[in-house]
A and B are shown apart, each in its own frame.
Chain A
Amino acid sequence: MTTETYKPFHQTPMPPKYDGVLGWLITYDHKRIGMMYLTTLMVWLSAGILLGLLIRVELMARGQTIMDAQTYNAFFTMHGVVMIFLFIIPGIPAVFGNFFLPIQIGADDVFFPRINLLSYYLYLIGGILGVLALFSKGPPDTGWTFYVPFSVTTRSDVSITVFAAFILGMSSILTGLNFITTIHRMRVKGMKWFQMPLFAWSLYATSWVQVLATPIVGITLILVIVERLFGVGLFNPAKGGDPLLYQHLFWMYSHPAVYIMILPAMGVVSEIIPVFSRKSIFGYKAIVLSSMCIAIFGSLVWAHHMYVSGMSDLSVMIFSLLTFIVAVPSAVKVFSWVSTLYKGSITFSPPFYLSLCFIYLFTVGGLTGLVLGSAGTDVHVHDTYFVVAHFHFVMFGGAGFGFFAAMHYWWPKMFGRMYNFKRAYIAITLLLVGFMLHYMPMFVLGLKGMPRRYYDYLPEFESGNLLAGIGAVIMVSGLFLMFANLLKGAIKGEKAADDPWGGTTLEWSVPSPPPVHNFMAEPSVKSYPYDFSDVWKRMNLKTSTPPKSQ
């Protein structure tokens, strides 16, 4: 085929008969579905950001500032629900996984295109239900963990939110199932397992966790609804139940879910770092294996959320040990990224900037996680702001920054247009400065004993909360500047080249935006996915061979 027949995917309806809006609503083109996810997700994300900002403004001064205590409880619950179930868990897999996984492995779509569309609609319905709860008579006030007995006895509308989370879980399972099957059955001829890009590998590991862990939380959430409706008493001590079992079941999913959130972000960073170092990734196989190890060991550490719940000391020790083990594969990745940078020929760019932020913030988040993973120190900081700061460093500084990095990296491929670099740098810097100012004081507050989720606090915590509030404002302005810049770039930006960065994976070998069947000709597979010798030749760099890793 020649380039004359090229038409970008958004001008080629799929299925062919339907045009216009209907062409989007009933499409089963993975790229369109990815775009629909992106649009929906940005709406929820903005809502989550605003809720978070309102909480922090409320906490800037003692006493009532802008909302009453019940509203505050509802807001932090909904902030958690929206950010976790609607943004981070679907996040990278649903948007960038859908769009780029098939292209990266040389396929023309995912294996079950119609199930893919179904997952999108489940996501949409779950999202609407979840956010609707905010406008019901009594928005849920339990925190996103829905711990019993409160979630069963509170009069607020917990059932609807819990049911929304269940539906979102189904969407997540179907996406995972789809990706695993796609990777097993649809890799282009000649692409062996160890020739797959690392992003595809990270999605593979993530998908297994999605398929195997999500049903556990599904049934747990259903049990909350059953308890509310029928009062069976499975978690009610007065009727013989044990509330601790709820916590076990909940974290059996929700801890692995942390890896559902972070693994794809790690995959994104593993793509970006080598491209902008112009050097093959250090330790390809080590990164692949560490992804799989994280998926396996990450599923065995759930009870480290429960050290002070009254578990036996033996369990505490076992789970503490396992938690330390799971830190190893994460460290392997950080080591590999940094080693890739070493002696690389570094080109600076917004996605690269975000990836560097990711490495730093994730490392801080991971190391403070070890403080929480050791039983002794955890007793001191359990359920304090230290925990809040820790998981925001991992979830936001890690998964969130990974998502933003993916946006900046693949934006020109998705829209065929480039955003403004200068504005991107300003936005990222604001985001980073705001982030540090926002979460660093929380570590201190936590160590000094300020409990999480409380509406009010003692006078000695005033300055820390004020600083965090100022940081929040800076951070949020950075975020919205970033989104505005990307949006403007997508509409009015300069036309982007097919390969603006000098990437080596297959998505950079196709036009921007890709045509409906992704490839103009049968894709040719490199024997090693991160071989930069062609990129060096093309870019006319002074020396003709890239520096070697390993």
Chain B
Amino acid sequence: MNTKTKDNTGAKFGMWLFLYSEIMLFTGLFILYAAYFREYLPDFVNAGKELDLRYGAVNTLILLTSSFTVAAAITAIRKKQAQGSLIFLCISIACGIIFLINKYFEWGHKFSHDIFPNSATLNAGPRGENIFFGLYYVITGLHGVHIIAGLSLLITAAWFVKKGKIVASDFVFLENSGLYWHLVDLIWIFIFPLFYLVI
């Protein structure tokens, strides 16, 4: 009855719970990775060499940058600099889009080498490599979906900042979107070594 004032701590608390559940979603896949890694270590090492480290490294840098700019956007709004916040958000959104484009080319490159689920090369090749690329497509694919979800949140947040709905006194939506973006970034930090830096 006495909760007429907005409880931002509670809203963030709920967001954290949601992030836990997102982590568990990926945990299922990481468990598969761990089990198969143990079973097919040599195949995983070989298959890992076929991935281009440059793509992965560039994407890691891009995501780290975007996480920084999202954090900067929150600091800016806290200091009542809506314009600055908007610029930082746009940089983050641009980073996310570049990440996806990069990913598109990387996947396309693999497809042109006949490496995709159920392709003749993978079906004929070592089983461990098939599993490695199967996991690669499923995990990076799911991560890509999360990038898109995160981008929609950031775009909405940017729109709200522009309309003056996110202000220094109430920016919990921006903070929650930022939290989500950091999660997407964090998951990538795990994906990167698992696929691009195997041994």
**CB of A184 closer than 8 Å to a CB of B:** yes
Which bracket fits the contact residues of A? 35 or more
Q: Is the CB of A212 within 8 A of B21?
A: yes
- B116-151: contact bitstring with A at CB < 8 Å (1 yes, 0 no)? 011000010011101100110110001000000000
Pick from A188, A219, A241, A245: contact of B25, CB below 8 A: A219
Contacts of A189 in B (CB 8 A): 2
Pick from B10, B31, B135: contact of A249, CB below 8 A: B31
Q: Is the CB of A232 within 8 A of B137?
A: yes
Within 8 A of B (CB), among A188-228: 188-189, 211-216, 218-220, 222-223, 226
Q: Chain A CB within 10 Å — which of B1, B18, B36, B135 has the most?
A: B1
Mostly, the B contact residues are helix
Q: Is the CB of A241 within 8 A of B131?
A: yes
Q: Is the CB of A233 within 8 A of B20?
A: no
With both chains docked as a complex, state the minimum distance between the C-beta of A30 and any C-beta of chain B, in angstroms: 13
Q: Residue on A with the closest CB to B129?
A: A240
Contacts of A222 in B (CB 8 A): 142
Contacts of A178 in B (CB 8 A): 14
With both chains docked as a complex, state the minimum distance between the C-beta of A3 and any C-beta of chain B, in angstroms: 17
Contacts of B128 in A (CB 8 A): 240
Q: Is the CB of A240 within 8 A of B127?
A: yes
A108 to B3, CA, bound (A): 8
Q: Is the CB of A216 within 8 A of B27?
A: yes
Contacts of A173 in B (CB 8 A): 18, 21
Q: Chain B CB within 10 Å — which of A181, A184, A189, A248 has the most?
A: A181
Contacts of A474 in B (CB 8 A): none
Q: Is the CB of B127 within 8 A of A239?
A: yes
- A220-261: contact bitstring with B at CB < 8 Å (1 yes, 0 no)? 101100100011111000011110010011001000000000
**Given known A-B contacts A216-B27, A230-B118, A242 and B35 have beta carbons under 8 A apart:** yes
Q: Is the CB of A230 within 8 A of B117?
A: yes
Chain B residues engaging chain A, CB cutoff 8 angstroms:
1-3, 7, 9-10, 13-14, 17-18, 20-22, 24-29, 31-32, 35-36, 39-40, 117-118, 123, 126-128, 130-131, 134-135, 137-138, 142
| Leading 8 A-B pairs by shortest Cβ distance | A240-B127, A185-B10, A215-B25, A215-B24, A219-B28, A232-B134, A231-B118, A230-B117
28 contacts across the A-B interface (CB closer than 8 A): A106-B1, A111-B10, A177-B18, A177-B21, A184-B13, A185-B9, A185-B13, A188-B2, A211-B17, A211-B20, A215-B24, A216-B25, A219-B25, A219-B29, A231-B117, A231-B118, A232-B118, A232-B134, A233-B118, A233-B130, A234-B138, A239-B127, A240-B36, A240-B127, A240-B131, A242-B39, A249-B32, A522-B2
- Beyond the given A242-B36, A523-B1, please list 12 additional residue pairs across the A-B interface where CB-CB is below 8 A: A106-B1, A108-B1, A111-B14, A177-B21, A178-B14, A181-B14, A212-B21, A219-B142, A231-B118, A232-B117, A249-B28, A249-B31
Chain A residues engaging chain B, CB cutoff 8 angstroms:
106-108, 111-112, 115, 173, 176-178, 180-181, 184-186, 188-189, 211-216, 218-220, 222-223, 226, 230-234, 239-242, 245, 248-249, 252, 517-519, 522-523
